Structure formats: C-alpha cells, structure tokens
Amino acid sequence: MRVTIANAWKKLTRDLRNGRSVSDLVKKSSRYTLELVTAKVYLSSVDRVGHGVRTLEQPRIDNHGYMSIGSNTLLRSVNVPVELATADGARLTIGADCSINYGVSIGCTQSIRLGDRCRVGPYVMIVDNAFHELLDRSKIPASKPVIIEDDVWIGAKASVMPGVTIGRGAVVGTGAVVTKDVPPFAVVAGVPAKIVQHLDPAKFVASRPGD
C-alpha cells in the first residue's frame, strides 16, 4: 500500500508541475482509487494479484489453472473487455507495471509468461495452442509455451502464436503475426512477422506505462 500511495503522489506532483488544474487532478485521483477498489472485485478469481493492480471497467476472467498479475499493472477494458483464460493445470503470469489494453485476449492451456513493463495494445491475441490440427480439426495439438520478456511493446491487433519467445525490449508492429522467436530489441512487422529494425539497447530507457 505504501508503494501504491508513493506512486500516486509522484504522478500527482508531476501533473501539478505540468499545469494540470486541481479539479482535473481530483477527478483523476477519484478514478485511480475506483480502479484500485474494483480490481479487488473483478480479479477475485485470480490466484495472485500484486499491490496497486487496477482495472478500468470489468475484464473477463476464466481461471481453471493458475493466474498471477504483478504489481501496478493496469487492465483497460474500456471498449471491449480484456479476456484472460487458463485451462486446467495451465499457468498464466503477467509481470509488474504492465498495461493490458482493451480487447486483449490471452488464452493459456499450458504456460504463458509476460515480463515486467510490457505494453500490450488493443485487440492483441496471445495463445499457446492453435486449438485445431490442420488436417484433423477435431484434434487439439500439443501446447507450446509463450514467453514475452521485460519491456516488450506489442502493437494493436497483433497475434503471438504458440511456442514464441519475444526478447526484452522488442517491438511488435500493429497487425503482425508472430510465429517465430523475436530477438531482444528487435522491431518486427508483417504477416508473418519479420525483423525490420534493430534498436540500440544502450539508448533504451525502461519506463512503466503512464510514466
């Protein structure tokens, strides 16, 4: 709770310095508090919820395995709910300081892990199973774990497919379909996703969404 208050105070003083009116800040503080409170209710079926986790409107949670959401992460279900689902025995872990935008769908049948400070854009799909074999579509293929490391940014409407690892600091372009591993600090785009740029790790600034 102390960390949550400290983060809120930091943002408040920054906004005051930037010329935000007191009335705007009161509204923002009220909304922030409401997001903290509703998270306790909306995420009651999540096994572990870190301090400072917020929900903007109600996500859809279908947890039959293990689900963990790290501290100060925000789930924004403003237009379309965020969907988080785990099958029996599956493990979905979302790190700290992440931003999960509206319409995001994460379906976990074995293992999906998001690191800290990840930004996931609207309507992104992340799955560890294709759910149907190509030739016999009544059969379900084997699941393949998905790992998304720290500081990854996934653009709107991108898809992350089974068995993929996305390295730290990588960027996935809007609408990309990621079928192969992405190296750290690479920018990928297209269908299927291909590397279009390499970022300089020495110039990277790790920051939480909203900072």
Catalytic residues: 132
Cα–Cα distance measured from residue 28 to residue 49, given in angstroms and rounded to the nearest whole number:
23
Q: What is the torsional sign of CA 127, 128, 131, 134? A: positive
Contact by Cβ (8 Å): 193, 177: yes
Please tell me whether the peptide bond between 192 and the residue prior to it is cis, using omega within 30 degrees of 0: yes
Which amino acid, one-letter code, is at 54? R
Q: Which position has the token pair 């992350």? A: 160
Burial 149-188 (b: 16+ CB within 10 A, else e): bbbbbbbbbbbbbbbbbbbbbbbbbeebbbeeebebbbbb
Cα–Cα distance measured from residue 196 to residue 7, given in angstroms and rounded to the nearest whole number:
36
Give the residues across from 60 on adjacent strands.
83
Which amino acid, one-letter code, is at 165? T
